[in-house]
Amino acid sequence: MPLATGLDILQAARAGKYGVGAFNTNDLEITQAVLEACEAARSPVLLALSEGALKYGGKPLVDLVLGMGREATVPVAVHLDHGSSFESCVRCIRLGFTSVMIDKSHEDEATNIAETKRVVEAAHAAGVSVEAEIGRLGGVEEHVVVAAEDAILTKPDEAERFMAATGADFLAVAIGTSHGANKGKGRPYIDHKRIREIAAILPHPLVMHGASGVPAYLVERLNAAGGQLKDASGIHEDDVREAVQHGIAKINTDTDLRLAFTAAVRETLLAKPKEFDPRKILGPARDLMRQVVAERIEVFGSAGKA
């Protein structure tokens, strides 16, 4: 079936109080894992490609993801994650993406508004949805490492001004999450009051970046197989569930898939030193990623919504 727009999928999610995963993909196996889990659970999904993914896989990767998305039996949007410029967004719109993110959250408010508005005009003319961001997450943001203390949580009044001025379709908010596998000591604090305040003003679907759960079992398997991931921590499932009840509709997940992939590859190489068939190495990684996506779908509440 034709690809869905991001907005089609996310408006239904916000209205129905469930979350939809935006899973980052970089290759065949990740894309298969995500789509197979979503089809098994009858869940809609966004397949997200970052600029790093585009650089890594180029047009062949884009064509693979678009083609697999169109073949899927559940609604799929193909989304640019953290687009850094108007040109980058336009390139993806021309390639056939149905959703783009313009991330000028590190710029001043006026610049963020002006650049986002430009992308909205081009994207909407092509029937493509736009995600924008205000506030600043900790972790790696815009390819720059942002210390947790430099994160700036999204202010509700700014969010209201920003969405009215830009016409963007959904909004990434900084509410305590951060990218990567080290989201802070203990259980990272999520500002649920802030989510409620923003959602009370804005009817738009809200987006949680840096939402990976970094499950302990994956970190243990990774490290038991020779990995060296220290001080790993993720967003508690209950915080994701609560955030979804209050307006978060799109939940970005990349790190959990990276952990699953690497844990499974390490385990195979350790257990089968004589193996050199890539399919026997990548296949178990795909299986574990599929399981992780299924677990995420359960937390988001998107099963049966396709």
Q: Annotated active-site positions, please? A: 81
Specify the residue, 12 or 218, whose C-beta has the smaller distance to ligand G3H.
218
Interaction partner, residue 53 (Zn ion, ligand 13P, ligand G3H, none; CB < 5-8 Å by kind) = ligand G3H
Q: How many CB atoms lie within 10 A of CB 276?
A: 9
Specify the residue, 42 or 242, whose C-beta has the smaller distance to ligand 13P.
242
- Please list every residue from 247 through 266 that binds Zn ion, using CB under 5 A: 252
Binding-site size, ligand 13P (CB under 6 A): 13
How far apart, in whole angstroms, are the C-alpha atoms of residue 181 and residue 163? 30
Query: Taken in order 4, 68, 40, 293, is the CA torsion positive or negative?
Result: negative
How far apart, in whole angstroms, are the C-alpha atoms of residue 271 and residue 223? 14
Binding segment (CB under 6 A) for ligand 13P, from list 38-46, 105-113, 253-261, 278-286: 253-261
Residues in the site for ligand G3H, rule: CB under 6 A? Answer: 24, 50, 52-53, 81-82, 179, 254
How far apart, in whole angstroms, are the C-alpha atoms of residue 90 and residue 123? 8
Question: Hey, is 199 helix, strand or coil?
Answer: helix
Residue 204 · residue 220 · CB < 8 Å: no
Specify the residue, 69 or 180, whose C-beta has the smaller distance to ligand 13P.
180
∠ CA 133-138-143, rounded to 5°: 75
Query: Exactly one of 51, 169, 254, 267 binds ligand 13P (CB under 6 A); which one?
Result: 254
- The pair of structure tokens assigned to 66 is 């678009």
Residue 198 · residue 235 · CB < 8 Å: no
Query: Is 81 among the residues that bind ligand 13P (CB under 6 A)?
Result: yes
Specify the residue, 98 or 253, whose C-beta has the smaller distance to ligand 13P.
253
What backbone phi and psi angles, to 5 degrees, belong to 79?
A: -125, 135
Q: Pattern of binders to Zn ion over 189-228, x per CB under 5 A? A: --------------------x-------------------
Residue 31 · residue 71 · CB < 8 Å: no
Q: Taking the complex as a whole, how short is the minimal distance between the CB of residue 278 and ligand 13P, in angstroms? A: 25
The β-bridge partners of 55 are none
Residue 22 · residue 210 · CB < 8 Å: no
Q: Taking the complex as a whole, how short is the minimal distance between the CB of residue 50 and ligand G3H, in angstroms? A: 3
Interaction partner, residue 253 (ligand 13P, ligand G3H, Zn ion, none; CB < 5-8 Å by kind) = ligand 13P
Q: How many CB atoms lie within 10 A of CB 148?
A: 15
Binding segment (CB under 6 A) for ligand 13P, from list 60-68, 90-98, 246-254, 295-303: 246-254
- The pair of structure tokens assigned to 171 is 């909004």
Interaction partner, residue 211 (Zn ion, ligand 13P, ligand G3H, none; CB < 5-8 Å by kind) = ligand 13P
List, as one string, the DSSP characters of 123-176: HHHTT-EEEEEESB-BEEETTEEE-GGG-BPPPHHHHHHHHHHH--SEEEE-SS
Q: Taking the complex as a whole, how short is the minimal distance between the CB of residue 240 and ligand 13P, in angstroms? A: 11
Interaction partner, residue 262 (ligand 13P, ligand G3H, Zn ion, none; CB < 5-8 Å by kind) = none
Query: Exactly one of 31, 105, 233, 255 binds ligand 13P (CB under 6 A); which one?
Result: 255
Q: Would you tell me which residues interact with ligand 13P (CB under 6 A)?
A: 24, 81-82, 179-180, 209-212, 252-255
Q: Would you tell me which residues interact with Zn ion (CB under 5 A)?
A: 209, 252
